[in-house]
Structure 1
Amino acid sequence: MSSTDREQRFAGSGAIRDGHGFDAARLAEWLGQNVADFAGPLTVEQFKGGQSNPTYKLITPARSYVMRRKPPGQLLKGAHAIEREYRVIRALGAAGFPVAKAYALCEDADVIGTAFYVMDMVEGRIFWDSTLPGLDPANRARHFDAMNATIAQLHAIDPVAADLADYGRPGNYFSRQITRWSGQYAQDVAAGRLDDMDWLAEWLPAHIPPGDESAVVHGDFRADNMIWHATEPRILAVLDWELSTLGHPLGDFTYHLMMYHLPPHIIGGFKGADLRALGIPTEAEYVAAYCERTGRDGIDNLNFYLSFNMFRFAAIIHGIKGRMVRGTASSPEAASLVTVLPELAAIARATANR
C-alpha cells in the first residue's frame, strides 16, 4: 500500500461507523463532570484509523479532544486494555516523555457502552509512510535521529520512579510474549491457521537469546504512531500505547527496526529503498546510534528479535482477521491488513532461518 493510499485510508476523521455509535449527550454530561474546563456543545467524529480500539475526535467550540474506547462486542481476554493505555500515558507525561495529556478514564460501561479515556488532541504532522515523504534528505535524517532518540529516551525511564513498577512482570519477556501471542493465535480458531505461524510458535521459544532486561516498552513504535511538529524534526506525542508493558528494550527497538526488513505494503516498510538518496541511515547506522544512546556494544541475535516481532505482529493481524469474522473489527480498512498476513508470516520464518 502506497503512502498516499495509507493516508487516504487512515488519516482524518469523519462520520461514526455502523455499530460504533453511542449517546453523545450522555458522553457530554460525563465530560462536564470529569474533564476540567470542558464546555459543549459537543460534536463527535470517528478517526479512520484505530484498528483495535475505536478512536474518536471530540470537538467543542474551545478545543478538541481524543477519546479511545474498547470496541463493542465479544473481546478476547486481555485485549483492548485501554485502562493500561491511560495509566502509562499519565505516568510517562509526568516523566517528561512526549505523549498527549490524559484527562480522565471511565470504566463505567453504562456511559457509552464500553470503557474509554479522553486525552488532548495534539495538532501536528503524521507520516503514514516510514520513509517520511515530503522531506529533503538532510531533514529526513534529522527526523530519523529524533525517532532513535525518542525510543532510547523511553527505554531509559526508570519504571519505579515513574510509578510503573507493576505495569508488567519484569523478566522472561520473550518467553511470556511468545506464550501470549501463540495462545491468542491458537485461541482464535475463527481466523484459521497458517503453517508458517505454527512453525514459528515452535521455533521461537527454543531460540530465545540469553540475558534479560526490563524497561517500559511501547510495543508498536513506528512513524505513523507519532505526531510531529509541523516544521521541526521533533516528536510532540507518541500514540497508541495499547501494547505497552514492562519488557525487553531490544524487543521494542527491533520491532521499530522491522521497517528495514518489510516491503512498503506491510506497515510502510522500506526494504529495497535507496537509503542514501533518501537520507535514511543504514540499518547498521541506526542500530549503532541506539546502542550509543543506551550504552550497548551492539545487538547480537538480531534475526531472532526480528522474527519474534514479525510473528507477534502477524498474531495481531490474525486477531484482526478473527474480529472481522465475528463482525467486531473496528475499522473498515482491517481487510487491507489481513491480506498481508500470509506474506508477513513467511517473511518471519525466512528471517528466523537466516
Structure 2
Amino acid sequence: MSEQEGQFSGTMEVRERHKFEVDVLEAYLKNNIAGFRGPLEVAQFKGGQSNPSYMLTTPSKKYVLRRKPPGKLLPSAHAVDREYRVITALSDTAAPVPKTYCLCEDESIIGTMFYVMEFMDGDIEWDPALPGYSKANRVAVFDSMNASMAALHRVDYKSVGLETFGKPTEYLARQISRWTKQYRASETETIDAMDKLMDWLPMNIPPGEETAIVHGDYRLDNTVLDKETHKVIAILDWELATLGHPLADFSYHCMTWRLEPELFRGLKGLDLPALGIPTEEQYVEAYCQRTGRDNIENWDFYAAYNMFRLAAILQGIVGRVKDGTASNKSAADVAVRVRPLAERGWEQVEKMMKDA
C-alpha cells in the first residue's frame, strides 16, 4: 500500500470533533431503517476532504453514513441532501450507485444533517496507474469507468425525477461564476494565473447546450471496484452532482491524463500501452462511441476550465484548514497544488490562443 493509500484508505477511530452520541444514532436508525438491529459500532473513514463519512457496523450488516461537517461552511457546500436525492434517483438506472436507506435533516441526532446508504464491499484505488494490477485488470478498470460515466450521462434526468435538480442551461457560465466566488471566499494568496483564468473563461465559453446528470468529481478513487471482475460497482461522493454539461463532467475526469502523478494523481509521463491503460485519445473515443458522438469540439477549453475548477476546489480545502473545518487531517497538503494547477490551466489557454 502506498503512503497516500495509507492516509486515505480504510477506517480509524472517530476524530474528536466529529464524534456524536452513538446510542442516539442507533435509536434513530432502528426507527427509520427496516430490519436495522444493534448493537452499533462506528468508525470513521480516513478519506474524504469534505463530508465526513462513517462505517456503521451491526451484527448482521454494514452501512455508510455521510454527514455535513460541523462548523462554518461555504455557501451551498456540503449538500448531503442533494447527494441522497441523486443516488436514490439513480437506483434503477444503469449508473452504478449504492442503495440508500434514509436522510435525516434533524440536526439534534448527531449535530448535522446526514444520510445512510449501503456499504459496497469492494476495492477503492487512489493511484490510476493501479500498481499491483495485471495489464488485463487495468484494461477492465478503465473500460468500466468509461462505461459507467457514459451510462450516467445517458440517463434521462426527467424520467428519474431530477428535472429540478439544477438549471438545464448555461452550466459552464454558472460553474465559472460559482467557483470564482468560492475561490475568492477562501483565497489565501494572490495567484496571477488564477486571476487570468477567472477573467478569460467566462468570455470564451464555447456554444452549444447539453444537459445531463453530472457527477462533478468523477475520479478513480470515487468508485468502488468489484474485487473479482474489477468493474465499477458503485460511484461515490455525489456532493457536486447537478444538471449540467456532460462534456464538462467528462473532461474533468480526463484531466488524469494531463496531470503528473505528483501533482494530482495523474498519468502524464507514464508508459500507458505497457500498463494496459488507454491513451486520452482512446479513452475519449470510447466515450464518444458509448454516447453516440462523432467527436468532441473545444476539448482544450474544457481542460482549461477544469484545471481552474479543481484549483478552486482545492483552495476551498485550504480555506477549511485555515478555519478548522476540514475533515481530513492531511488536507493542508493540497495547498501546494493550487498554484501549479492554475498555472497549468493558463498554459492551456495560452496554447489555445497560439493555435487559433
TM-score calculated relative to the size of structure 1: 0.97
Match of 1:210 in 2: 207
Question: How many Å separate the matches in 2 of 1:314 and 1:139?
Answer: 31
After TM superposition, give the deviation of residue 94 of structure 1 in Å. Answer: 2.4
Match of 2:240 in 1: 243
After TM superposition, give the deviation of residue 187 of structure 1 in Å. Answer: 2.2
Once the two structures are superposed, residues 155-210 of structure 1 have per-residue CA deviations (whole angstroms, 9 ceiling, x without a partner) of 00000001111110001110000000001111224x33321111110011111111
Q: Does 1:6 align with 2:36?
A: no
After TM superposition, give the deviation of residue 132 of structure 1 in Å. Answer: 2.1
In 2 relative to 1, CA 192–109 (structure 1 residues): closer, same or farther, beyond 3 Å? farther
After TM superposition, give the deviation of residue 338 of structure 1 in Å. Answer: 2.0
Match of 1:313 in 2: 310
| C-alpha contact (below 8 Å) 1:227/1:238 kept by paired residues | yes
| C-alpha contact (below 8 Å) 2:186/2:318 kept by paired residues | no
| Residue of 95, 100, 105 corresponding to 1:107 | 105
Once the two structures are superposed, residues 67-107 of structure 1 have per-residue CA deviations (whole angstroms, 9 ceiling, x without a partner) of 00000000111000000000000001122421111100000
Match of 1:286 in 2: 283
Matched ranges for 1:49-128 at <5 A: 49-128=47-126
After TM superposition, give the deviation of residue 40 of structure 1 in Å. Answer: 0.7
Q: Does 1:137 align with 2:135?
A: yes
Match of 2:354 in 1: none
Match of 2:296 in 1: 299
Match of 2:149 in 1: 151
| C-alpha contact (below 8 Å) 1:127/1:133 kept by paired residues | no
Question: How many Å separate the matches in 1 of 2:239 and 2:190?
Answer: 25
Amino acid across the alignment from 1:223:
L
Question: How many Å separate the matches in 1 of 2:178 and 2:60?
Answer: 43
Match of 2:329 in 1: 332
Once the two structures are superposed, residues 10-31 of structure 1 have per-residue CA deviations (whole angstroms, 9 ceiling, x without a partner) of 0000111121111111111111
| Residue of 340, 346, 351 corresponding to 2:348 | 351
Amino acid across the alignment from 1:65:
Y
Q: CA RMSD in A?
A: 1.1
After TM superposition, give the deviation of residue 339 of structure 1 in Å. Answer: 2.1
SS of residue matched to 2:332:
helix
After TM superposition, give the deviation of residue 139 of structure 1 in Å. Answer: 2.5
| Residue of 163, 167, 170 corresponding to 1:169 | 167
What runs of 5+ residues in structure 2 fail to find an aligned partner? Answer: 352-356
Q: Does 1:266 align with 2:263?
A: yes
SS of residue matched to 2:142:
helix
Match of 1:224 in 2: 221
Question: How many Å separate the matches in 2 of 1:350 and 1:257?
Answer: 17
Question: How many Å separate the matches in 2 of 1:47 and 1:75?
Answer: 21
SS of residue matched to 2:66:
strand
| C-alpha contact (below 8 Å) 1:106/1:117 kept by paired residues | yes
What's the % identity of the aligned pairs? 51
Question: How many Å separate the matches in 2 of 1:184 and 1:85?
Answer: 20
Question: How many Å separate the matches in 1 of 2:136 and 2:288?
Answer: 22
Equivalent residues, number: 351
Amino acid across the alignment from 1:35:
I
Question: How many Å separate the matches in 2 of 1:156 and 1:102?
Answer: 22
Amino acid across the alignment from 1:81:
A
Amino acid across the alignment from 1:158:
D
| C-alpha contact (below 8 Å) 1:220/1:243 kept by paired residues | yes
After TM superposition, give the deviation of residue 142 of structure 1 in Å. Answer: 2.4
Question: How many Å separate the matches in 2 of 1:260 and 1:149?
Answer: 17
Amino acid across the alignment from 1:294:
T
